[in-house]
Structures are given as C-alpha cells and as structure tokens.
Amino acid sequence: MMAQGTQQAWWDSPKFTIDCVLVNGSRQLEADGCVLESVEAGCKLSTPDHLKAGDFVKVQLWLEGEESFIDIRLAEVRRVHEHWVAVEVIQVSQNDRIRLKRFIDAPAAMHIEEPALIDHLLIRA
C-alpha cells in the first residue's frame, strides 16, 4: 500500500513553463516568448519541438505596462506547428482572469469587436 501524500499528481508541476508577453489581444490572444524546461538546477531554455499536443505546461503571461504576470498554473498544449504553440487555459486564478479580461476588453470596447477568447492562447516561442 502506498503512503498517502508522497505521490505527486502528474499535473501538479508541469515540466515546461512558457514565459511570454501578450502582443495581440484581439479575437485571438497571441504572445511572444520562450519555452523553459524545469531541470534540477532550476530551468533551461528549450524549444517548442520538445512539446506535443496533450502536454501540460505553466504559462507566465506578461501584459504590457503591468508589473506582474498572469499566472496560468495549468494549460494544455493543443497544437505545435514550427515555432507556434497553441494552448488551452485550464487553471488560472479568478483575479488573474479578471485582469486579463479587463486588459483585452479596453481596446476592443472602442472597436465593438467580438470578445476575445481568453481560454485559448497562441504563443510564438
């Protein structure tokens, strides 16, 4: 019998983190950034070709002019094509979700666009 609490769930700490800056917040959220791989000594720069659909990642999404990033604790890689990674947001705090929505809705309100899809993110890494 296994001891309780010693086994870490596979989604608790994704091996990869994508650190990126939002560049386009219109209909499709787009960001520029890099893929970081967790290693014993901390993290090292990686490339999107180490990712595949179905992988779980963390995303640190920086917004222009803001001091702290949106902490997407869990996202699932949907597609990897050349240097683009499409992810679906699974877990983000309510507070960060509101910050992101407010950031995106500000320019969109002036153009009367459809609301952005904040659960899907396209990252050039």
pLDDT tens per residue across all 125 residues of the chain = 444 444 445 456 799 999 999 987 666 789 999 999 998 888 999 999 999 999 999 999 999 888 999 999 999 999 999 999 999 999 999 999 999 988 877 655 555 555 556 789 999 99
H helices of the chain, where? 94-111
Q: 0.75 exceeded by the pTM?
A: yes
E-state strands within 1-125: 16-24, 29-39, 42-46, 56-62, 70-81, 84-92, 120-124
Please name which of 54, 37, 39 lies closest in space to residue 125, comparing C-alpha atoms.
37
